[in-house]
Amino acid sequence: MPEDDDEDWMKYASAGFGQTNYSLWDEETEEPEETPEVDQFDLDMPEQLGTHMEEIPRAPNPAGLKHLVRVGCCDFCLGRLGGKKRYEQTIEQSGIEIRQTVIDGNSHLANIREEIPLCPFCENLFDETDLLADIIYDSIEPYEIKRLQLGARFPKDQIEEEDAQRKRYAATGSDGLKTGLVAEIARKLNKRLDGVKLVNEKPHVLALIDVLTLTVELDVRAHYIYGRYRKLERGIPQTRWPCRACKGRGCEKCNDTGLQYESSVQDLIGNPILDVLKAEEHSFHGMGREDIDVRCMGRGRPFVIELKEPKLRSCSYEELENIINTQAAGAIEVTDLRSSNRSEVVRIKDTPADKSYTIRFKLLPMNELEYGVLTAPLDLTKTDRKSRKRKQRRGDKRKDNTKPLPTEIITEENGFNQDELTKMKKAELEAICVEHKLAKTGKKNELIERILAMPKPGSSCFDLPDHETIKSTIMSLEGTKLAQRTPDRVAHRRADLIRRRDVVTVHEPVIETMEDGVTEVEFTLRCESGTYVKETIHGDNGRTQPSVASLLKAKCEVIWLDVGDIHAD
Ligand SMILES: [Zn+2]
Ligand SMILES: [Zn+2]
């Protein structure tokens, strides 16, 4: 999942700063310890350098400083490792000062940098800090950013080598090579950046310096926008669906768009924002989703849209709303746009919110057998009751739910068949006719025909309920705890188990008898998050109990469904 990118980069970034205490911006808190004056020590430790390594004290001991100069340290490293840097100084200024002091008493070291031109601590990397600052400055120029983080990538052995040398000779608490180099580049950049803060977390852009190639890689973080959308037209999926025929590559069927449906809520919102923020791509995170044929009304569904690699980060959200709503031309509508962040994506996805739905369906006659299927007992031992206490809701996946639940009862056929009846004697056939209250007159084949045409047991239909019964039955749903076995239509992506969901409120239905004599019912209900609403109406072959169909003893065919309010935020 792309959600992990952020964390990965964080690891990367901090790895770039070395393993020791990382302190980019708080140099002032790392003032070196109080140390004796140089002169005193010069007398005490005259000529031990170069005899035994063990006898060389660490900087800022004068002998230690002299050693650093003698081995060819550059001014930057001398300042970084010498432990003499004052608050207002740069490491380079401090280095120059240290070198002068050492040369004053050891004139033979005056030209040491010409003899040893490569600094053993940084391999002259600090000479490149102006260049690197320039590269970073130029590469972030196209981006509107307020927060910049720097990182550096070093060969591992270079870091280890410097670490060992530094711990042996440098002043305690000196910055490591990575920290020191990045701090120096930051210092140079800081003077030129206007309105950009150098940060250690949550950057808009992470500039990663590769010291081997002297190049800079930019990781431009996404910009997030929160809002609510209403879907006013049916037939629009929430997110992009790749074309089934070509899996998104583009083919004749999809007009080379690679899309199964021409538009999506995601594209209708995201594409205009791409233009405004000059971003590369978008991904969409909704607080749940409605089916493609379901509208979303009321205050709309909360979402966060993620814009990848944006050049701009500030915009008028009011203007953005206008642009989106104008271009969508009534298909969708957005409100409440504002800037957001990655953690809100998690919140949006994990919030189980009650939702209101308006649904319209027609009533058709139902026979006894169909009723039997709708009301066949559900095995309620397999509910997800326990798991609902925990945070896990999405997918409701648990290992012990992999066993299939028993399927619905199989309906019995009319017990007679033609072959058997033909073999019977006429008297036997007459007896059957009497038993089933059929006329026993006529020839043998007429009797057989009559018996076969006999209505199957249970095939007689219930009378359709009157309006008053429909109304009171639907109102009685309020407060009902439904048992819903995973519908077949979603079984491929959800565990097959029975969920308990509440019907919170029910509004009075509108009942109409249409021109063709069919009764249609429309009503609004509020249910707990995760309720299968269409199934609550038609009963899903007994997988949802109770259902409006089973309560009314009538087949309920859903005509349309709208999501009204999502009761969150
Ligand atoms: Zn150096
Ligand atoms: Zn295609």
DSSP 58: P
Cα–ligand 2 centroid distance for 267 (angstroms): 17
* C-alpha 213 – ligand 1 centre gap (Å): 18
Q: What is the mean pLDDT of residues 173-180?
A: 94
**What is the distance in A from the centroid of ligand 2 to the CA of 243?**
5
Q: Select the more confidently predicted residue: 297 or 411.
A: 297
Q: What is d(CA 298, CA 309) in angstroms, rounded to the nearest whole number?
A: 33
At residue 297, does pLDDT exceed 60? Answer: yes
DSSP string, 334-354: EEEEEEE-HHHHHHHHH---E
Scanning the structure block, which residue is given the tokens 């008053």?
468
Note the pLDDT tens digit of each residue in 44-67. 444 444 445 557 888 899 999 999
For ligand 2, the distance from its centroid to the CA atom of residue 266, given in whole angstroms, is 19
Least confident range from 205-209, 289-293, 390-394, 418-422: namely 390-394
pLDDT of residue 160: 93
Closest-approaching ligand to the CA atom of 76: 1
Read off the tokens for 244: 């089934």
- 439/9: higher pLDDT: 439
Closest ligand to 241 CA?
2
Percent share of the chain, pLDDT over 90? 58
15: confidence class by pLDDT, cuts 50, 70, 90: very low
**Ligand minimally distant from the alpha carbon of residue 162:** 1
Tens digit of each residue's pLDDT (9 = 90 or more) over 482-499: 999 998 888 777 788 889
Ligand 2 centroid to residue 261 C-alpha, Å:
10
Determine the distance separating the centroid of ligand 1 and the alpha carbon of 157, expressed in angstroms. 16
385 pLDDT higher than 60: no
What separation in Å is there between the alpha carbon of 245 and the centre of ligand 1?
A: 60
* Residue 453 DSSP SS3: helix
Distance in Å, CA 471 to ligand 1 centroid: 86
pLDDT (mean) for 228-234: 95
**pLDDT level of residue 382 (50, 70, 90 thresholds):** low
pLDDT of 399 over the 70 cut: no
How far, in Å, is the centroid of ligand 1 from the Cα of 118? 8
What phi, psi does 13 have (nearest 5°)? Answer: -65, -45
CB 448 within 8 A of CB 422: yes
pLDDT at 26: 38
- CA dist., res. 46 & res. 54, Å (int): 15
Does 18 score more than 70 pLDDT?
no
- Return the higher-pLDDT residue of 50 and 373: 373
Q: Which is it for strands 215-220 and 205-210: parallel, antiparallel or unpaired?
A: antiparallel
Q: What is the pLDDT of residues 282-294, one digit of tens each?
A: 999 999 888 898 9
pLDDT of residue 568: 77
Give the distance (Å) from ligand 1 centre to CA of residue 217. 24
Q: pTM higher than 0.75 for the full model?
A: no
Only one residue has tokens 């399927």, namely 407
Amino acid at 277: L
Is residue 186 within 8 A of residue 196, CB to CB? The reply is no
Mean pLDDT value of segment 356-363 = 94
Judged by DSSP in three states, 210 sits in strand
Ligand nearest to the CA of 184: 1
Q: Rounded to the nearest whole angstrom, what is the distance from the C-alpha of residue 471 to the centroid of ligand 2? A: 47
Quick: pLDDT tens for 72-101.
999 999 999 999 998 999 999 999 999 999
More confident residue, 35 or 249: 249
**Per-residue confidence band for 376, with pLDDT thresholds at 50, 70 and 90:** confident
pLDDT exceeds cutoff 60 at 266: yes
Kindly report, residue by residue over 410-441, the tens digit of the pLDDT: 444 456 778 888 888 888 888 888 888 788 88
The answer to whether the beta carbons of residues 310 and 222 sit under 8 Å apart is yes
Cα(418) to centroid of ligand 2, in Å? 52
What number is the average pLDDT over the span 159-187?
A: 94
> Measured between alpha carbons, how far is 191 from 333 in angstroms, rounded to an integer?
45
CA 238 to ligand 2 centroid distance, Å = 19
Residue 384 pLDDT greater than 80, yes or no: no
- pLDDT band for 381, please (50, 70, 90 cuts): low
> What is the pLDDT at residue 422?
87
Query: What pLDDT was estimated at residue 414?
Result: 57
Query: Which ligand does the CA of 74 lie closest to?
Result: 1
8 pLDDT higher than 80: no
Q: Which ligand is nearest to the CA of 245?
A: 2
Q: What percent of the chain has pLDDT over 70?
A: 83
> For residues 284 and 307, what is the distance between their CA atoms, to the nearest angstrom?
9
Q: 502 C-alpha vs ligand 1 centroid, how far in Å?
A: 70
Instruction: State the distance from the centre of ligand 1 to the C-alpha of 83, rounded, in angstroms.
Output: 15
124 CA → ligand 1 middle, Å: 5
For residue 13, name the pLDDT band (cuts at 50, 70, 90): very low
Instruction: Say how far apart CA 365 and CA 354 lie, in whole Å.
Output: 32
Supply the pLDDT for residue 323: 97
User: Is residue 392's pLDDT more than 60?
Assistant: no
How large is the average pLDDT for residues 160-166? 93
